[in-house]
Amino acid sequence: MALSWGTIKSLLLFFGPILLPKAIAYYRSAKASPAIQGVSIRPIPPLVSRALIILFVVASAFFIRTLPFYAPENIFSRTSSRLQIPVDVLFTRLSALRQGGLTTSDNTLRTKLSSLDSRLLFFQHGPDVLTNCQFCSAEDPKSYLYYSIPSILAPHLFNLCVLALVTSGLFAGKEGAVWRYTATIAAGAAVVIDLYLVSSYDQAANAKATRAEDIDTFFWRMRVYRLLGLAAIDGLLGWVLYLSSTNRAFIKSHTTQERVEASTKVLESVRSRLGTLAVLKNTIYRSSELRANNSEYWVREGVIMGEVMEDRDVVEGVNSALGNRIDINSIARDAEAFAQSIGPSQLQMANGNI
């Protein structure tokens, strides 16, 4: 059942005030998530960049395939013929438009469009199904549906393989793997919706069309919607993958186990360095030559630093740095504010304790 514009406006007026504030709040929370989680925005990881390129290429290919140049030919639209036109007149017009005359597929299709039911199925399943299906008949409309299922599923399966690749941990890293379940659900939902719309379409609705403009070209519309839907899935996946991999949104806080593992790795690294330092110091103190070199180094270092600190320019530079770093006026203001914050009761208590 088609939705009218009035119905759409009514739904927007009813759900708009409810959904719009929630959408704005979700956007703000997602935008502020990096600051809340204490992470900084980073460049796109190399593995994610490769996955984004593949998604862009595939989505662009799906979008380009929606152009009329790649669509199967609709002989009724090309000849500007209405649905009830005699089959001989229809193909006579088509033959006049073709330079080499009718093709083998045209002659096969001519034998299939002899009845009104077969013409209605033509607009539901397209010319290739009617031309190539050998066991289908207009008396059993479901047979055309069964034959068309592989061609309907082909782009979905191809896109599912692409999604499986770009969300693989080996190919896109952990940034892509976190979206694997969501991408699979979206691809599965697209398949279910597509099959439902094709199987539930009432082809008899075109029987009342008396003009070529009144014919519902369902097959060609569904082909465009199918490819645009797949392109949208790839585009949305690329968008969320970009946001999550660069810490712009969809940031998940680390679990306790992950924090413990990270802390354990840091402690192990520190312990390893301390052990190396202990071995080095032990080696130095056990060797008289190394111990003498070490003592000589520190004596020489003390002499050099003493001479440096006695230089007038160095002393003035240190005093200037310390003077700029310590703001005496600020310290005085803080002390005065603290003294004023102490009330009479605190002063009396302090005097009584003395």
**Where are the alpha helices (H) located in the chain, listed in sequence order?**
5-37, 46-65, 75-78, 87-97, 104-112, 116-125, 127-132, 141-166, 169-177, 180-200, 218-245, 256-286, 288-310, 312-325, 328-341, 344-353
How far apart, in whole angstroms, are the C-alpha atoms of residue 260 and residue 185? 32
Contact present, 34 and 199 (Cβ < 8 Å) = no
User: What pTM, to 2 d.p., does this model score?
Assistant: 0.68
Query: What is the length of the chain?
Result: 354
Angle between helices 141-166 and 218-245 (to 10 degrees): 20
| Closest to 238 (Cα-Cα) out of 69, 85, 52, 59 | 52
Q: Can you tell me the mean pLDDT for 221-243? A: 94
Q: At which residue do the structure tokens 């160095």 appear?
A: 314
Q: At which residue do the structure tokens 């192990």 appear?
A: 268
Residues in a beta bridge with 140: 137
State the average pLDDT for the chain.
Answer: 84
Give tens-digit pLDDT for 283-342. 887 888 888 888 888 888 888 888 877 787 777 777 776 666 666 677 677 777 766 665
**pLDDT band (50, 70, 90) for residue 237:** very high
**pLDDT band (50, 70, 90) for residue 183:** very high
Q: What was the pLDDT predicted at 219?
A: 93
Lowest mean pLDDT among 185-189, 242-246, 259-263, 326-330: 326-330
Q: Report the alpha-carbon angle 331-336-342, nearest 5.
A: 130
- Per the structure block, which two tokens stand in for 223? 């082909």
Percent of the chain exceeding pLDDT 70 equals 87
Whether residue 347 has pLDDT greater than 50: no
Contact present, 146 and 157 (Cβ < 8 Å) = no
